Chain A
Amino acid sequence: MSDRIYPDEPASGFPEPPVEFEDREGRAIEVRAYEDGDEEALVEMYDEFDPADRAQGIPPSTEDRIRDWLELIVDEGHNVIAWHDDAVAGHATLVPDGAEAYELAIFVTQEYQRAGIGGRLIRALLGYGASQDVEHVWLTVERWNRAAVALYEDVGFERSGTESFELEMSLRLD
């Protein structure tokens, strides 16, 4: 995938976690980098994830598959988690693609959606990624998912590559 196009201008100014804020429902949310021991909380979050909110086959739908999937993401990727007390409100990850770039994904739990958490979470992930020397980031998104596309464009992602059911977008970090 080395033929992927990236924006000429790098995106910058993303905050490094921890990031604390109040969401639109007045809940105190803290975004922190993934730490050892957080995995069970992620398994629980994805095990309870609404199947209707799955995208392109992830998260997987059974606990065994979720554990396999998370193992790769936690071992290889850069991860941040949005916490509301002990509950996981959201998780975002950068997974290396083997070609010096990272694939991004972000999930917000149903009861925490539409509260402004996604935007804070992705910014904190990009701030964390920049601190870990990540430079090239890409993602795919179902092209009818306008809310997600708008969120990605808002932080600087630009459309790249060919479009089919999924739209591919990329971003360069400073």
Chain B
Amino acid sequence: MKVLLGIGGSDESQRALDETVARAAETDDELTIAIFEKPGVERDPDEIEATARERLDEAGVDATIRHLEGDPGSKLVQIAEADGYDQLVIGGGEVSPMGKIQLGSITEFVLLNAQVTVKLVR
């Protein structure tokens, strides 16, 4: 399966990275990791890429890494559709201090617009 993983350096992205790389190691998914900048996230794209490469090396998984410019939600959907991906994977929401799941604007755009299957990782 051809999988596009979008990550932005938040905790939810970290979980999505861990899960998706672990799964790719088992399934031989063809994985592309798209790194985007998210407002309010301190880690810069280079740090996010370094973390992703570390995780890929540990798992022995090969993946293409690319960096997105512009609006992350629309970019992810555009790439997933234009390049024929089977699945678009993103984080499954932040958790508030009292435990409420909160889906942000990137997730909302992806869910409402993508014509490919979307996976949210909890």
Contact = CB atoms under 8 A, between A and B. Distances in A.
Interface in A23-63: 55-58, 60
Chain B binding surface, main DSSP class:
loop
Contacts of A164: 103-105, 107-108
B102 A105 contact: no
A134 B85 CA distance: 49
A92 to B, nearest CB: 11
Contacts of B98: 58, 72-73, 77, 93, 95, 103, 105
B44 to A, nearest CB: 19
A165 B97 contact: no
Interface string A2-19: 010000000000000000
Interface string B79-104: 00000000000000001111111111
B105 A56 contact: no
Nearest to A102: B97
A105 B100 contact: yes
B99 A140 contact: no
A126 B57 CA distance: 51
A95 to B, nearest CB: 4
20 contacts: A56-B100, A56-B101, A57-B100, A57-B101, A58-B98, A58-B100, A72-B99, A73-B98, A95-B97, A96-B97, A97-B97, A103-B97, A103-B100, A140-B100, A164-B105, A164-B108, A165-B103, A166-B100, A166-B102, A166-B103
